[in-house]
Amino acid sequence: QKEVEQNSGPLSVPEGAIASLNCTYSDRGSQSFFWYRQYSGKSPELIMSIYSNGDKEDGRFTAQLNKASQYVSLLIRDSQPSDSATYLCASLSSGSARQLTFGSGTQLTVLP
Amino acid sequence: DVKVTQSSRYLVKRTGEKVFLECVQDMDHENMFWYRQDPGLGLRLIYFSYDVKMKEKGDIPEGYSVSREKKERFSLILESASTNQTSMYLCASSLPGYGYTFGSGTRLTVV
């Protein structure tokens, strides 16, 4: 069973701090990784994708990928209360390259 | 932007009813998926399809069926609704090699 593991949290950070969300995956053949944000009662929204080792920055968000360690992370700089949500990590299966495997999500609360 | 439209945001049905949940995407995506999401259980895959008329069972297909007669439309059918099918249902679509775009979800209550 190919898995994606996340700390379920909850994770609380003060406003303005850096929030660090972590994820490990078991399928060594996975090449593509995604971070989704899900507000309570809403559907998941894709916020970052990363395909190669290293960092990828988009505004206040930085995704980091280390394929050797099978580790993906999401950093949120200058965290805002509006960032409070559940963050889902997902990997694209190495077989069909069509189906995502999702982690269970990390609940983030940014305290004003 | 890709848009994935689910026909209903909230739905209340009676036990034993046949329920149809519709999902339409407008960007020619090959892949379409149906998930349910329950507190503490995460996203669970019900069925998926990679082509018209093609369907594959996911992790929890029991009590459900699907139909994909056109590329843009993927329907989830609850043959005889039961209270344990009360859930948030999420449709998603994608191209091979890319992440999913989710619809806004249908919160189904079976009474």
Give how far A97 is from chain B: nearest CA, Å: 5
Task: For A36-49, write each residue's pLDDT tens digit.
Answer: 999 999 999 999 99
In this complex, the residue of A43, A96, A102 whose CB is nearest that of residue B42 is A102
CB B44 within 8 A of CB B71: no
**Three-point CA angle A57, A7, B88, nearest 5°:** 90
Q: Which stretches of chain B drop beneath a pLDDT of 50?
A: none
Which is higher by pLDDT, A1 or B86? B86
pLDDT of residue B48: 97
Which DSSP state fits A32? -
When scoring B43, B102, B109 by the number of chain A Cβ atoms within 10 A, the one with the most, hence best to mutate, is: B43
Q: Summarize the confidence of residues A57-67 as an average pLDDT.
A: 97
Tokens of B28: 């020619």
Distances (CA, A) of B19 to B13, B15, B111: 8, 10, 13
User: By the CB < 8 Å criterion, does A97 face chain B?
Assistant: yes
pLDDT in tens, B54-75: 999 999 999 999 999 999 999 9
Query: Which of B5, B29, B33, B98 to substitute to test the interface with A, most A CBs within 10 Å?
Result: B98
